[in-house]
Amino acid sequence: MLKNINLPVALLGVGLLFALVIPMIVVPEGTAYVISVFYDVMTINFPWAFMLIAFLSSVFAVFIMFSKYGDIRLGGANAKPHYKTFSWAAMNMCSAAGAGIFIFGMVEWMYYVETPPFGIAPQSIQAYEYALPYGMFHWGFAAWAIYLPVSLALGYIFWNKKVDSLNLSDLCKSVLKGNSLPIKVLRKVIDGLVAFGYIGGLVCTFGLGTSILAELAGYLLGVEITFGLRIAVIVVFGVFFILSTSKSIAKGISIISNFNVKLALAFFLFILLAGPTSFIINNFTMAVGTNIREFVHMSFNTDAIAQTGFVQQWTVFYWAWYLGCTISDGLWLARVSYGRTFREIAIVRCIWTTLACWLAFAVLGNYGIYQQLVNGLQLSQIAMDSGNNVAVLAVLQSLPLSAIAIVVYMVVVFVTLACGATAASTVVATLTSKNLKNDEEPASWYKVFWGFLVLLLPLGILCLEQFVPGLNVLTTIQSVTSLIVIPLLLVIALLLITFFSMLKKDIRNKELYVDDSKRIKWE
């Protein structure tokens, strides 16, 4: 049963996870303090680095879309996709955006109105005009472009260079040469860090998502929101997760992703038609224009003069979060993108995912803005005073057929979390396995094992929230998410060095796998 498990890597990943979660449970106040100190050091000193990474990734994405290199196909010229385009795109968007878009798409503008960027006065007209565009920027083209270089690197090395596994140490063998003890240890450490980093990257989505589900469940059931209720939500989620993990990727993730996308679209359509339709469309149109006009400004805004803290709390957090998820999400994307070209991957990841996220901001965000401006529902103050959970509930309560709307919203978030957990468990189980063939999945029990370990993260966050009075849960989640990226930056750099050296060699030797009809002419 253990013959395909890479025990050193698995034990390192589990050990690092427990090293993060156990202090949250045992010494929550001390843990919260240490996390905040490290977060402050990173976000105050290194915004410039995160800004440059995001902007250069955007340039790279555009280059892939419009250059001849976009014709490179994962698996070779004759490779056929494993999944239909809609299913593949749905899995892509669900694993990338996750449940976070249904939360931040609804509440992010509330924080920006109260603490706007660029030194703008709170609650001013200009604050409202920038609230939606800045959220769309954080969930837009630059955000998803951050994922692209790593995704293409993993897919190309795995499928085109026929590497035996998706373990990062195997993918980087051309750089990690030799069998000396230090090299062997380094390989194990890299794989363990990636496994831990993947799970850690989910702390934001799962921490916020399960907490909001508990809030909404308590409201519908008419019971008090207690620590026990939140634990119960995590347990129910775990049971559902087992059912989805017990099937193959195609039957599990594909089915729930398709269902989730269609249900989310129906939910958005309901709000658009039942809500202030004209205002939603008009303000979204203006927000798109503002986003385009201010893209370069927002991309390079380090807040060095005004020092409002906006960039550190939001933009740096988002870019660090996405960087922390690049390898894990890239492994998942590489796994399901066989037969797709670089261009297809870039378009789905950077354009279609952006449009899906912008749809959420357009409908959920603008509906809330209208309720505050026209109907006097002080949502931004609710968010600042009581947090995301109460703010989300307040928005949903204002909808027609609010009880049904809350149930649908819960299902969408719940299924999206399940999709993310299934993808996470599959990838981490793959990372900590050995001797798996290219198209072989880890055992179902092993994926379930890692899936339950993923659920330790929201448990740890709940303990911090429960036992640290006055704790800003959102800030703490942002801090944990951002800190996890630090050890992964070296791994990302190593992977990209390997990828570009391979690509350069293949270009020189004319060994790139592309369609005959679109073969790149090198001379």
Residue bearing the bigger pLDDT, 437 or 356:
356
- Please give the pLDDT value at position 516: 42
Q: Is the pLDDT of residue 523 over 50?
A: no
The residues with which 72 forms a beta bridge, in sequence order, are 514
Residue 521 lies in a domain: no
**How many distinct structural domains can be found in the chain?**
1
Position 9 scores a pLDDT of 87
Question: What's the domain range around 229?
Answer: 7-515
Structure tokens at 221: 């059931």
- On whether residue 444 sits in a domain, the answer given is yes
Give yes or no for a contact between 18 and 457, defined as CB atoms under 8 angstroms apart.
Answer: no
CATH number of the domain within which 40 lies:
1.20.1740
**pLDDT surpasses 80 at 106:** yes
Look at residue 360 and tell me if it is in a domain.
yes
CA distances from 4 to 53, 165, 167, 196 (A): 36, 12, 13, 19
Reported as a single tens digit per residue, the pLDDT across 171-220 is 887 787 778 888 888 888 888 888 887 777 777 777 888 889 999 999 99
Look over the chain and give the mean of its residue pLDDT values, rounded to a whole number: 85
- The answer to whether residue 520 is domain-embedded is no
Tell which wins on pLDDT, 350 or 35: 350
Whether 463 is covered by a domain: the verdict is yes
How far is Cα 311 from Cα 119, in angstroms, rounded to an integer? 11
Q: Which pLDDT does position 124 carry in this prediction? A: 96
Q: What is the pLDDT of residue 33?
A: 85
Residue 83 in domain? yes
Mean pLDDT of 90-116: 86
Collect all residues with Cβ–Cβ distance below 8 Å to 105 and sequence separation of at least 6: 135, 139, 357, 360, 361, 363, 364, 365
pLDDT at 514: 46
Checking if the pLDDT of 522 tops 60, the result is: no
Token pair recorded at residue 285: 């149109």
In the chain, what is the straight-line distance between the N-terminal and C-terminal CA atoms, in Å? 53
Whether 231 maps to a domain, the answer reads: yes
What pLDDT digit, counting tens, does each position of 384-398 carry? 999 899 999 999 999
Q: How far apart are the C-alpha atoms of 415 and 101, rounded to whole Å?
A: 13
Q: What does the pLDDT read at residue 519?
A: 38
Q: Write the burial class of residue 401 (CB in 10 Å: 0-12 exposed, 13-18 middle, 19+ buried).
A: exposed
In a domain, 523, yes or no: no
- Tokens representing 460 are 């740890």
What is the pTM (predicted TM-score) of this model?
0.88
pLDDT the model gives residue 59: 97
Give 260: exposed, middle or buried? Use CB within 10 Å, 0-12, 13-18, 19+: buried
Question: How high is the pLDDT of residue 253?
Answer: 59
DSSP bridge pairs for 73: 341
pLDDT at 234 over 70: yes
Q: Measure CA 101 to chain center.
A: 9
Degrees to nearest 5, angle at CA 120 with 303 and 319: 40
